[in-house]
């Protein structure tokens, strides 16, 4: 079968529109198409046809679905069909109808060529939208307002903001007041807060032309947020519409209570009885300061404490410095109670002031006075406790005055001596021929000098230094109580027995020959040793 001729009767489509115009509410998107088919003459039969809509005369893209009609009556070659491709395919551009024909299902479709261009009559289906608009709105007014009152391109130009959810490229400038009922996004179309600025850099800024304050966000190095001045001006913080209570200068100094801080942190209080800095900690330090060239913590007051710290488990005030004072306190009040640094321990076992030095020749707590009647460090305790407590070694250069000196460690008075031989604490030593000390040898040695202190866990009570000793030296007990290695193989040692040197080198034994013991007595036994060898507590009394 070949196409002989197709005749399009556009008039029939126009009549269809005209016939349905009076019943607009019943109008739909279907239209009537009439053609004439010549198949070996003028056919008179029933054919199967398919209709498809394209956007080009040849090739192009198909629009909508293919309409199949399996029983098209052809009378003298003329046929009429009703086609409905919907309204969306008719946008105003050219449309072309492709027809395929066959006699029955056993044949393949023959595509008629060329495609037929659709005339303008089917576009009357767009009046559906116009009819709906007429029902919804008055033709001369929009929302009850005159059309002339709406913004148009003739009144504001070609750039204006439309009420749409898609991003707009137009600029705008609002000179009056306004409000936003929902969330406002700048740089984002999906704000989650009342005002959200989406940026990687500077965001919200405020300026008067000279001073600029703004926020800054960066994603570099893990991301961080900034807020401050973008010009060479300080940043002030205030409350209650008052003057600045906190100021950050352009030099990086932070002042609280002052707008002219001269240090990295400067706190000032002009209210009587209110501390400039108050530190309180449940587990750590109330105030902690660290400095490499000046003072770790500096406090100054004309009426109360320069520095005052309270801690429930750590240090009330802790200071550390590698070249100056860890904690420095100064007072100008003539009173012992107005201290530059004041430490108070209120709990059981608590300490008012702790000084710690970890470097060679460093000082944990340092006090200086220029007055012959003044005190570099003053400690007072009115409850019967300890006014000053030092744990570890204490060195005092100068004269020390005290009413009572109580030693709670060892119970002996010793002096450092260089001792030859393999000596150890608890051994008896004697003077050798060179005037030095060595382990005592022989019974009733009249050169006996004392007992090496520190045996059996009893440390030395007081040590008199030997400033001439350069080599290894040990403390030798000259008086007091000390443990001594003793020999009871022949004579039992009982409390009160006099002791002298034994035949065992470095050991003591009971005196049985008092004539020979003159000048060789070490001391008097305080404990007993029934037999063998062992340690005996002795009261050193050289005779």
User: Domain map of the chain by residue range?
Assistant: 10-132, 214-260, 269-394, 411-541
Hey, which residues does 101 pair with through a beta bridge?
49, 110
Give residue 4's pLDDT band: very low, low, confident or very high (50, 70, 90).
Answer: very low
Per-residue pLDDT reduced to its tens digit, 162-177: 666 777 777 777 788 8
Q: Cα 422 to the chain's mean position, in Å?
A: 59
Residue 221 preceded by cis peptide, ω within 30? no
CATH superfamily of 411-541: Head decoration protein D (2.40.300.10)
Q: Residue 122's closest CA among 23, 10, 36, 9?
A: 10
Asked if residue 205 lies in contact with residue 213, where contact means CB atoms within 8 angstroms, the answer is yes
Give residue 325's pLDDT band: very low, low, confident or very high (50, 70, 90).
Answer: low
- Going by C-beta distance under 8 Å and a sequence separation of 6 or more, which residues neighbour residue 309? 279, 280, 285, 286, 287, 315, 316, 317
Query: What pLDDT sits at residue 412?
Result: 80
What does the pLDDT average to over 19-43? 65
Q: Are strands 448-452 and 428-431 parallel, antiparallel or unpaired?
A: antiparallel
Per-residue pLDDT reduced to its tens digit, 377-424: 777 777 666 777 777 677 777 777 777 766 766 778 888 888 887 889
Query: What pLDDT sits at residue 133?
Result: 54
pLDDT(496) > 90: yes
Query: What pLDDT sits at residue 12?
Result: 32
Q: Which residue has the tokens 């060195």?
A: 395
Query: What pLDDT sits at residue 98?
Result: 93
- Which whole-number Å values give the CA distances from 211 to 214, 229, 244, 247, in the listed order? 10, 7, 16, 15
Query: What pLDDT sits at residue 438?
Result: 93
Query: What pLDDT sits at residue 324?
Result: 66
Which of the two residues, 13 and 283, has the higher pLDDT score? 283
397 vs 367: CA distance, rounded Å: 13
Give residue 261's pLDDT band: very low, low, confident or very high (50, 70, 90).
Answer: very high
**CB atoms near residue 172 (< 10 Å):** 9
Q: Residue 267's closest CA among 242, 287, 292?
A: 287
What does the pLDDT average to over 124-153? 56
417 vs 476: CA distance, rounded Å: 7
pLDDT(301) > 60: yes
DSSP 244: -
Query: What pLDDT sits at residue 499?
Result: 96
Which of the two residues, 297 and 259, has the higher pLDDT score? 259
Q: Is 197 helix (H, G, I), strand (E, B) or coil?
A: strand
228 vs 69: CA distance, rounded Å: 76
Hey, which residues does 163 pair with through a beta bridge?
none
Ranges 71-80, 88-97, 243-252, 488-497, most confident: 488-497
**CB atoms near residue 73 (< 10 Å):** 12
395 vs 361: CA distance, rounded Å: 11
Which ranges of 344-386 would DSSP assign to H, the alpha helix? none
Per-residue pLDDT reduced to its tens digit, 56-107: 999 999 999 999 988 888 888 888 998 998 888 888 889 999 999 998 889 9
What does the pLDDT average to over 492-507? 96
449 vs 476: CA distance, rounded Å: 8
Per CATH, is 10-132 categorized as 1.10.10?
A: no
Query: What pLDDT sits at residue 387?
Result: 72
Query: What pLDDT sits at residue 422?
Result: 82
Query: What pLDDT sits at residue 21?
Result: 32
Ranges 76-90, 154-168, 235-249, 483-497, most confident: 483-497
Q: Which two three-digit tokens encode residue 325?
A: 């004072």
What does the pLDDT average to over 480-489? 95
Per-residue pLDDT reduced to its tens digit, 193-232: 988 888 888 888 999 999 999 998 988 888 888 889 999 9
> What are φ and ψ of residue 18, in 5° steps?
-65, -35
Query: pTM value?
Result: 0.41
**CB atoms near residue 42 (< 10 Å):** 14
pLDDT(431) > 80: yes
Give residue 252's pLDDT band: very low, low, confident or very high (50, 70, 90).
Answer: very high
219 vs 233: CA distance, rounded Å: 26
Q: Are strands 327-330 and 31-36 parallel, antiparallel or unpaired?
A: unpaired
- Which whole-number Å values give the CA distances from 163 to 137, 253, 411, in the listed order? 19, 49, 96
- Going by C-beta distance under 8 Å and a sequence separation of 6 or more, which residues neighbour residue 107? none
Of the listed ranges 100-104, 212-216, 287-291, 322-326, the one predicted with least confidence: 322-326
pLDDT(132) > 70: no
Supply the mean pLDDT for the chain.
79
Query: What pLDDT sits at residue 511?
Result: 95
Angle (nearest 5°) at CA 283 between 346 and 325: 75
- Going by C-beta distance under 8 Å and a sequence separation of 6 or more, which residues neighbour residue 13? 31, 32, 33, 119, 121, 122
Query: What pLDDT sits at residue 223?
Result: 86
Measured between alpha carbons, how far apart are the two ends of the chain, in Å?
152
75 vs 45: CA distance, rounded Å: 7
Give residue 6's pLDDT band: very low, low, confident or very high (50, 70, 90).
Answer: very low
% of the chain with per-residue pLDDT over 70: 70
Query: What pLDDT sits at residue 5?
Result: 41
């Amino acid at each position: 079968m070949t196409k002989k001729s197709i005749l399009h009767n556009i008039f029939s489509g126009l009549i269809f529109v005209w016939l349905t115009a009076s019943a607009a509410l019943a109008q739909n998107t279907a239209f009537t198409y009439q053609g004439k088919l010549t198949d070996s003459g003028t056919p008179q039969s029933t054919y199967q046809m398919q209709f498809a809509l394209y956007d080009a005369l040849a090739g192009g893209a198909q629009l909508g679905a293919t309409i199949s009609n399996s029983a098209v009556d052809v009378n003298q070659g003329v046929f009429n069909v009703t086609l409905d491709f919907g309204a969306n395919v008719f946008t105003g551009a050219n449309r072309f109808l492709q027809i395929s024909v066959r006699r029955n299902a056993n044949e393949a479709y023959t595509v008629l060529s060329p495609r037929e261009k659709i005339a303008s009559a089917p576009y009357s289906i767009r009046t559906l939208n116009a009819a709906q608009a007429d029902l919804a709105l008055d033709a001369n007014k929009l929302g009850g307002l005159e059309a002339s009152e709406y913004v148009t391109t003739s009144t504001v130009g070609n750039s204006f903001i439309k009420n749409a959810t898609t991003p707009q490229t137009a600029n705008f400038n609002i000179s009056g007041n306004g409000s936003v009922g929902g969330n406002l996004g700048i740089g984002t179309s999906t704000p989650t807060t009342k005002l959200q600025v989406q940026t990687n850099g500077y965001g919200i800024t405020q300026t008067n032309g000279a001073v600029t304050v703004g926020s800054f966000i960066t994603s570099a190095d893990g991301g961080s947020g900034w807020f401050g001045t973008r010009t060479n001006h300080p940043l002030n913080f205030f409350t209650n519409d008052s003057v600045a209570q906190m100021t950050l200068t352009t030099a990086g100094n932070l002042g609280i209570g002052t707008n002219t801080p001269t240090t990295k942190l400067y706190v000032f209080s002009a209210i009587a009885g209110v501390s400039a800095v108050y530190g309180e900690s449940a587990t750590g330090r109330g105030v902690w300061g660290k400095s490499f060239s000046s003072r770790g913590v500096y406090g100054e007051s004309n009426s109360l404490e320069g520095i005052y710290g309270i801690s429930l488990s750590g240090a009330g005030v802790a200071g550390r410095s590698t070249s100056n004072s860890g904690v420095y306190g100064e007072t100008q009040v003539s009173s012992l109670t107005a201290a530059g640094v004041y430490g108070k321990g209120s709990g059981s076992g608590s300490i008012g002031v702790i000084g710690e030095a970890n470097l060679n020749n460093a000082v944990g707590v340092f006090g200086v006075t220029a007055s012959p009647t003044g005190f570099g460090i003053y400690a007072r305790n009115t409850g019967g406790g300890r006014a000053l407590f030092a744990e570890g070694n204490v060195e005092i250069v100068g004269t020390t005055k005290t009413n009572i000196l109580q030693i709670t460690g060892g119970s002996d008075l010793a002096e450092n001596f260089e001792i030859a031989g393999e000596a150890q604490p608890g051994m008896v030593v004697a003077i050798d021929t060179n005037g030095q000390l060595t382990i005592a040898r022989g019974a009733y040695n009249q050169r006996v000098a004392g007992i090496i202190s520190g045996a059996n866990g009893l440390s030395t009570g007081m040590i008199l230094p030997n400033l001439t000793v350069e080599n290894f030296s040990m403390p030798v007990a000259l008086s007091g109580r000390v443990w001594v290695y003793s020999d009871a193989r022949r004579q039992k040692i009982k409390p009160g027995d006099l002791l002298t040197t034994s035949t065992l080198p470095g050991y003591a034994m009971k005196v049985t020959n008092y004539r020979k013991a003159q000048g060789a007595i070490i001391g008097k036994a305080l404990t007993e040793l029934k037999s063998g060898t062992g340690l005996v507590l002795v009261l050193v009394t050289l005779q």
